Amino acid sequence: MALPSYTETRYRIWHYIYITICTFVFFFLIAPLFVIFPLSFNAEEFLVFSEGMKNLDPDAFSLRWYKDMIYGTKNPWGLAAKNSFIIAIFATIGSIILGTLAALGLSSRHMPYKGIIMATLISPMIVPLIISGVAIFFFMAKVGLAATHAGIVLAHIILGTPFVVITVTATLSGFDHSVTRAAASLGSNPVNTFMKITLPLILPGVISGGLFAFVTSFDEVVVVLFLAGLENTTIPIQMWTGLREQLSPTILAVATCLILLSTLILVTAELLRRRSERLRGINR
């Protein structure tokens, strides 16, 4: 931001202070993530920068912890990754189906009691996770789904649907309902209209809601801590136990992989957001 040439000195100084503060905050936000990368290539067992690393000695770096993550003996990460992906994928599908249907109903202007129903549907996002965890645990224990994949998937559907409801409702707010009426008047049945007209138009919202649901499930640890048995361990659970008990650099290797995954998701979400903004621009 260049200042106009007529700016007085004291405002100039203020401006530079402001830029400095902003730089500091951006640094504070992003820098912690970048400590993980170099340390995950540490040749030694400690989670500190060794002298060799500070001098950029190539012997101080190794892929040892990545090997340990993949081939290590008695290694929990393989099972955890498999479980995490299975649970997250099913939870995402469930959240998308239930959430999209609900969003379609909620954006109809005929919907009764919209306020209270919306507040109920969003509540799992607002209620502290520990309380959701206790409540869901009581339910799952009662119906015998504790320590099963199905129970965890259901729990994550509960936590994931609010995101789908919010994003799809937002997409539908810019949706021109006359196109569905046009389809109906041309003889299309409602299901066909939804598949051929509505769904393609709201797809960016559905997918970005799905991404939120996926990340929520993939990163969720509080509820899983209550529900999971040894068989259902997930990546967050393994990280949680690892961080509590023995801090090994293998965790940093896993963390690096997770950061790469979140970068991928961020790029996808950003592209979708732009596309949906463009589409909404055309509608107006």
Partner 1 sequence: MSSETNKILTTDGIPLEVSLKKAEKKNKIKAFLLVAPLLLFLIITYVFPIGEMFSRSIDDKMITNMLPKTFKEMEKWDGKELPPEEVFAAFYYDFKILVEKQEHGKLGQRLNKEKNGFNSITKKLFRQVKRKKIDESISIKEQIMKVHKRWRTVEYWQAIKRTAPPYTLAKYLKGMDMYYGADGSVVQVEEDRRIHRILWLRTLEIAFFVTLFCFLMGYPIAHLLATLPMKYSNLLMICVLLPFWTSLLVRTASWMILLQQQGVVNDFFVMIGLVADDNRPEMMYNKVGTYVAMTQILLPFMVLPLYSVMKTISPSLMRAGKSLGGTPFVAFWKVYFPLTIPGIGAGCLLVFILAIGYYITPALVGGASGTLISNQIAFHMKQTLDWSFASAMGLMLLSGVLVIYWIYNKLVGVDNIKLG
Site for partner 1 in 42-101 (CB under 8 A): 46-49, 98-99, 101
Of the two residues 89 and 265, which places its CB atom closer to partner 1 in the complex? Answer: 265
* Residue 129 lies near partner 1 (rule: CB under 8 A): yes
Q: How far is the CB of 199 from partner 1 (least distance, A)?
A: 14
Scanning residues 14 to 43, which ones bind partner 1 (CB under 8 A)? 14, 18-19, 21-22, 25-26, 28-30, 32-33, 35-36, 39
Scanning residues 98 to 127, which ones bind partner 1 (CB under 8 A)? 98-99, 101-102, 104-106, 108, 110-112, 115, 117-124, 126-127
CB atoms within 10 A of CB 72: 14
| Residue carrying the six token digits 């990754």 | 81
* Residue 222 lies near partner 1 (rule: CB under 8 A): yes
Q: Which stretch binds partner 1 (CB under 8 A): 59-67, 75-83, 178-186, 239-247?
A: 239-247
| Residue carrying the six token digits 């101080």 | 60
Q: Which of 259, 162, 254 is nearest to 212 (CA)?
A: 162
Scanning residues 198 to 217, which ones bind partner 1 (CB under 8 A)? 208, 212, 215
Q: How far is the CB of 75 from partner 1 (least distance, A)?
A: 18
The single-letter DSSP state of residue 46 is S
Q: How far is the CB of 73 from partner 1 (least distance, A)?
A: 23
Single residue of 236, 250, 253, 279 touching partner 1 by CB under 8 A: 236
- Distance CA(137)–CA(55), nearest Å, equals 51
Q: How far is the CB of 196 from partner 1 (least distance, A)?
A: 18
- Distance CA(168)–CA(93), nearest Å, equals 14
Report phi then psi at 61, rounded to 5: -110, 145
Burial of 230 (0-12, 13-18, 19+ CB in 10 A): exposed
Single residue of 81, 89, 170, 203 touching partner 1 by CB under 8 A: 170
* Residue 258 lies near partner 1 (rule: CB under 8 A): yes
Tokens of 194: 């939804």
Q: How far is the CB of 100 from partner 1 (least distance, A)?
A: 9
Find all residues with CB under 8 Å of 243, minimum gap 6, and list them.
251
* Residue 2 lies near partner 1 (rule: CB under 8 A): no
Single residue of 45, 63, 138, 182 touching partner 1 by CB under 8 A: 138
Q: Are 233 and 83 in contact (CB under 8 A)?
A: yes
Q: How far is the CB of 71 from partner 1 (least distance, A)?
A: 22
- Distance CA(237)–CA(259), nearest Å, equals 17
CA 196 to chain centre: 28
